[in-house]
Each structure stands twice: as structure tokens, then as C-alpha cells.
Structure 1
Amino acid sequence: MGETGKEEYKIQSFDIETQKLLKTALKDPSNVDLDKVANVIVDQSLKDSVFSKEAGRICYTIIQVNNMPMMALVNPVYDCLFRLAQHDSLQKEEEVDCLVLQLHRIGEQLEKMNSQRMDELFSLLRDGFLLQEGLSSLSQLLLLEIIEFRAADWKMTDAAQKYYYSEVTD
């Protein structure tokens, strides 16, 4: 594995042109059509739920390049998060974990860009937590933790951290 000094991303499943587009977006987002980048990422995420985690990492990196959220990515990222908040996805611990991880990473920034969509997303998550049957204990714990995390203004108290994450290891 060649060291490039930068984090490597799993984009080999894309054609050469799309790989080039994504690599350029990761290095210098101002030199690409971010709507096109966002559509590529969302389309692949919807086809391959495992890629959703990688999509979150890519979007996070693109956002960090300019040290501010990019409006072109906000709605596609929300679209992916909404997909992960659907009934069938909440049944899969890996997808709930991915959703919660992304909300921890970029939830606060996304809410600043579009609080209405965040309210809608958390309404889905709350309903999924309260009403959906068949959720695993870990999925329930993760959903409750992210609901509390947002309610605490995207901060985790030491007591909450100890409670939620000591439960996972028990």
C-alpha cells in the first residue's frame, strides 16, 4: 500500500472518470461541480449501504478542505441520512451505527445549514426508537444516545458518555 500522506478512500468501484472527479473534490473542491460529486456519492450510497460510511468520510473531508460546510453537499448528505433512518435500515445494526457515527461527525454543521430537515430526521429517529418493533438492544441504545446528544446541543456529558458506552461493552 503506497503512502500518500493522505487518507485513502474506497473509490475503486467507480469508473476512472468518476474516481478522478472524487479525487479532485477531495483535494480542491472549488475545481469540481459539487452537485455532480454529491449525486455520484448519493447514488452509490443508495445502491450500496456499506458505501454510506465511506460516503460520509468523503463528504466530511470535502467539507473540511474549505473549513466550512458546502451547501451543495448538505441536501445529498441529508438524503443519505434519511435513507439510513428508514424502517428497513433501522433493522440493521451496521446501518444504525453508520447513521449515528455520521450525525456525531457532522450533525451540528448540518443542523446549522438546514434545521428543518434535521428536525424531520430526528422525528423519524424518535418514531423509529419508540414505535418500531424488532430493533436490537444496540440499535435502541444508539438511537437513544444520538437523540440525547442532539438535545444537549450536540455535546455529550461525561455521565452520558459513561452510561451509553459502558453499556455497549457489558
Structure 2
Amino acid sequence: MGEPSKEEYKIQCFDAETQQLLKTALKAARGTEDGCSAWQRSSTNCPGPRPSRSTQDRNPGAVDLEKVANVIVDHSLQDSVFSKEAGRMCYAIIQAESKQAGQSVFRRGLLNRLQQEYQTREQLRARSLQGWVCYVTFICNIFDYLRVNNMPMMALVNPVYDCLFRLAQPDSLSKEEEVDCLVLQLHRVGEQLEKMNGQRMDELFVLIRDGFLLPAGLSSLAQLLLLEIIEFRAAGWKTTPAAHKYYYSEVSD
């Protein structure tokens, strides 16, 4: 579930009310020493002291988990750093929620918001390139963390692929922010995606190779990043120390 200190650090950028909401949800996710989660403790089915009415506002059982999901998604679309790390927070809350039979408010709210943003992704990209890049980063982060029976969520495979295909279009490859996002996400989830649908990965890399070989409008950095990810996949989603030194010394220069 990650380190509490890291989770708490990540929510310092929110206003005080939202910080309290997220801290309370994460408190529930961490559970209690007797093995009974804070959400379970708030019900009559779980032994142990229940919170008084005066402390109900801070009771994890009273947290609006749909609101928590919306807060996390909204902030992920605005904050590029947060979008890279929010998956750990979502995973922690979903894991705790899954221990209660029939409870999936946060998970459902999160997936609904991801779907809504996915359906309007072209409008998002046109409105805010940063917001679009943050969305792709966030959905890949969620795909990386969320599991069903220890397998990636099939429901997210095609949406993630569609986002990466959009990043591999010529007008996107002409923008370093989108090329950087494409390469970073393939480093993160490319191997998992290929295992789920190898044909689409082949098709994606045809676009990437075409973009590299027909470099009209591509910066030298974009060309370098595309070449690196092509070689990375060809090597079985691994990189040698020598290749890492070559590519990333070139990037830093």
C-alpha cells in the first residue's frame, strides 16, 4: 500500500479540507492493528470501539469515496507530478474497500471518471496539452497498479492503447511533451500491454517507426527518444547499462 509518509507528502498540495478528506480515506485504507479496517469498524458487524458522533466527520466510514475519486482524478489532470504517483493512493483505497463484500464505491467512481475523460480526450487535448498528458500518465499509472485476480484490468487495456496510439500520431510526435509521455508510459506499462494484446503493440510500433523514419517536424530529442523505445522493446523491454548511458547522457546534454 506504499509508505504513509509518501502518501501524506503527496496530498500537501491540496487545500485543508481536501487534505483531511484524503488523509481520512487513507487512514481507512491502512486499517487497524486488530485487522479490522476503519470502514468495517464504523459498522455494527465489526468488534471494537466505534467513533462518537462528535468525531463522525473524521470517521473513515463516513468518507464520501466517490468524492475522493473525483478529487484524485481532478487533481491528476492538473498536476503532472501527482498524476505519476496517484495510482499508489488509489490502489491503497481500493484494496481496503475490496475487503468489504459488495463495496466498490471508490473503484466504480474512479473508473467512471476515467471513462468520461477518455470519451472527451480529443477535446481535452485541444483545450490543454498539459491536461491531456496528465490524463495519459494517470490512466497508465492506474493500469499499472490495479489488478483483478493478479492480472491487469482488461477494461483498461484498449483505452490505454488508444491513448498511446494518439500520442504516436504525426501531430503529436511533433510535440516533445507528447513524445516524452509516450516513451515514459511504454517504459512503465509496455510489457504488460503487449502480454494483454500483442497485435496492438505491433501496430503501435509501426506508427512509432514510421514517425522516426519520416522525421519531418521531429526534434532531435524526439527522434532520440523514439529510437530508444524501439530498441528497448526489441531487447525484450530491457535496456543495457551501455544503452542507458548512451541515450540518457544524450538527453541530459
Compute the TM-score of the two structures, normalised by the length of structure 2: 0.56
Match of 1:50 in 2: 130
Cα distance, 1:68–1:141 mapped onto 2, change above 3 Å: same
CA positional deviation for 1:74 = 0.3
CA positional deviation for 1:70 = 0.4
Distance in 2 between the 1:104 and 1:13 partners?
20
Using the aligned pairs only, state the percent identity.
59
Distance in 2 between the 1:155 and 1:99 partners?
17
Compute the TM-score of the two structures, normalised by the length of structure 1: 0.80
Equivalent pairs, count? 161
Larger Rg: 2
CA positional deviation for 1:65 = 3.5
**CA shift digits 1:29-61 (9 cap, x unpaired):** 872288744422423543234234333234423
CA positional deviation for 1:13 = 9.0
Specify which of 190, 209, 232 is matched with residue 149 of structure 1: 232
**CA shift digits 1:72-92 (9 cap, x unpaired):** 000000000000000100000
Match of 1:90 in 2: 173
CA positional deviation for 1:97 = 0.2
Distance in 1 between the 2:223 and 2:160 partners?
23
Cα distance, 1:94–1:160 mapped onto 2, change above 3 Å: same
Cα distance, 1:153–1:142 mapped onto 2, change above 3 Å: same
1:1-170 correspondence to structure 2 within 5 Å: 1=12, 2=19, 4=22, 9=72, 11-12=74-75, 26=90, 27-28=93-94, 31=104, 32=108, 36-46=112-122, 47-48=124-125, 49-55=129-135, 56-66=137-147, 67-170=150-253
Cα distance, 1:63–1:104 mapped onto 2, change above 3 Å: closer
Cα distance, 1:52–1:150 mapped onto 2, change above 3 Å: farther
RMSD over aligned CA atoms reads 3.0
Match of 1:17 in 2: none
CA positional deviation for 1:11 = 1.0
CA positional deviation for 1:131 = 1.3
Cα distance, 1:10–1:145 mapped onto 2, change above 3 Å: same
Matched residue type, 1:50? Q
> Does the 8 Å CA contact 2:168/2:207 hold for their aligned counterparts?
yes
Distance in 2 between the 1:62 and 1:134 partners?
31
**CA shift digits 1:119-146 (9 cap, x unpaired):** 0000000000001312100000000000
| SS of corresponding position for 2:74 | coil
Please say which of residues 139-148 and 51-60 is displaced more in the overlay. 51-60
| SS of corresponding position for 1:28 | helix
Gaps of 5+ in 1: 15-22
